[in-house]
């Protein structure tokens, strides 16, 4: 898999079709895993219900897909990686629940449904967000892996989540270093806000398969590229798509004066940046050869997504 296929060729379209299928399969599997997870039974009913509302019932499940694909790319077993996939999704959903709060993004719509604070009230949304974040570590902590894998995955998840919180602070409260230019600033915000957890997903999947250091290095480059690419695509969708289409509020970046790629680079150059990052991602996993196919397909699919 030496380079990406040209858009709209048969090979390209086949790859994105395979990528869509990977996302759908992972979504079904992680939804079922989280739905049946016994951790909910330990909780007050209304808290369990709010937590489940926050994490079940939709979402692209991109991070779980990456966990599973990375684990398989490194020779690991998909079933073994399920707790890592679930933990990543728990953290991602915690961040959505808190970011949607009135004091932060004040969003009423998420995945085409009322956000958790609209559905269950603000006090419950704060506490259920705290719950989902903690449950992610609970899931990793009781996974059936060697203890060094368990410990390492928890460390990786914590590091990625701290960066994500830092990115959210930059994005909503500013404070970016003014010694770097606007493009570098944007890269910093988005590497933290979105990239860190996407990269953690890739590396955690690989770690479940006990990948060697060389492979971890390869996947670090891949994770860096797709993490940033995901956010550039997201920013483009925010200016080009309708709210009904993507199931959440749009045009928010402009409305809130937040830095975003189309504003800083222009729409066309942002599209070129997506292509550049995709190329980087695809090239980075060449050493994995045929084992990297799922990661290749997911990268292509992330680049062309429309919601």
Q: Which residues bind its own copies (CB under 8 A)?
A: 39, 42-47, 94, 98, 101, 103-104, 121-124, 126-127, 129-131, 133-135, 137-138, 140-142, 147-148, 150-152, 154-155, 157-159, 161-163, 165-166, 168-170, 172-173, 175-176
Nearest C-alpha neighbor of 238 from the set 217, 267, 210: 267
State whether residue 90 is helix, strand or coil.
helix
End-to-end CA distance of the chain: 27
According to DSSP, the residues that pair with 110 across neighbouring strands are 113
Comparison of 131 and 236: residue with beta carbon closer to its own copies: 131
d(C-alpha 249, C-alpha 81), whole Å: 33
Write down the least CB distance from residue 28 to its own copies, Å. 26
Comparison of 87 and 274: residue with beta carbon closer to its own copies: 87
Write down the least CB distance from residue 215 to its own copies, Å. 20
Whether the CB-CB separation of 228 and 187 falls below 8 Å is answered with yes
Which element (helix H / strand E) includes 109?
strand 109-110
Write down the least CB distance from residue 117 to its own copies, Å. 8
Comparison of 192 and 233: residue with beta carbon closer to its own copies: 192
Write down the least CB distance from residue 156 to its own copies, Å. 8
d(C-alpha 86, C-alpha 64), whole Å: 7
Comparison of 65 and 200: residue with beta carbon closer to its own copies: 200
State whether residue 56 is helix, strand or coil.
coil
Write down the least CB distance from residue 148 to its own copies, Å. 4
- Report the residue count for the chain: 307
Comparison of 138 and 220: residue with beta carbon closer to its own copies: 138
């Amino acid at each position: 898999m030496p380079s990406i296929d040209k858009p709209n060729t048969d090979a390209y379209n086949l790859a994105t079709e395979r990528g869509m299928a990977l996302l759908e399969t992972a979504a079904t599997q992680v939804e079922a895993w989280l739905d049946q997870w016994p951790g909910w039974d330990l909780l007050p009913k209304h808290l369990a219900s709010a937590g489940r509302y926050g994490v079940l019932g939709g979402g692209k499940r991109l991070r779980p897909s990456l966990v599973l694909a990375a684990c398989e790319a490194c020779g690991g077993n998909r079933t073994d990686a399920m707790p890592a996939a679930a933990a990543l999704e728990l953290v991602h959903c915690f961040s959505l629940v808190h970011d949607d709060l009135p004091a932060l993004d004040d969003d009423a719509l998420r995945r085409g449904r009322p956000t958790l604070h609209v559905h269950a009230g603000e006090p419950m949304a704060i506490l259920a967000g705290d719950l989902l974040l903690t449950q992610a570590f609970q899931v990793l902590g009781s996974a059936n892996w060697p203890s060094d894998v368990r410990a390492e995955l928890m460390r990786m998840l914590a590091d990625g989540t701290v960066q994500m919180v830092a990115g959210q602070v930059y994005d909503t409260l500013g404070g970016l270093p003014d010694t770097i230019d606007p493009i570098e600033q944007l890269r910093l915000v988005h590497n933290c806000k979105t990239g860190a957890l996407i990269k953690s997903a890739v590396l955690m999947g690989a770690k479940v398969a006990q990948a060697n250091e060389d492979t971890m290095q390869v996947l670090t480059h891949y994770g860096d590229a797709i993490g940033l690419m995901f956010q550039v695509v997201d920013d483009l969708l925010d200016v080009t798509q309708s709210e009904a289409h993507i199931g959440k509020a749009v045009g928010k970046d402009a409305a809130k004066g937040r830095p975003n790629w189309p504003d800083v680079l222009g729409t066309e150059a942002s599209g070129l940046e997506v292509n550049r990052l995709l190329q980087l991602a695809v090239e980075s996993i060449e050493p994995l050869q045929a084992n990297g196919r799922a990661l290749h397909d997911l990268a292509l699919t992330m680049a062309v997504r429309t919601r």
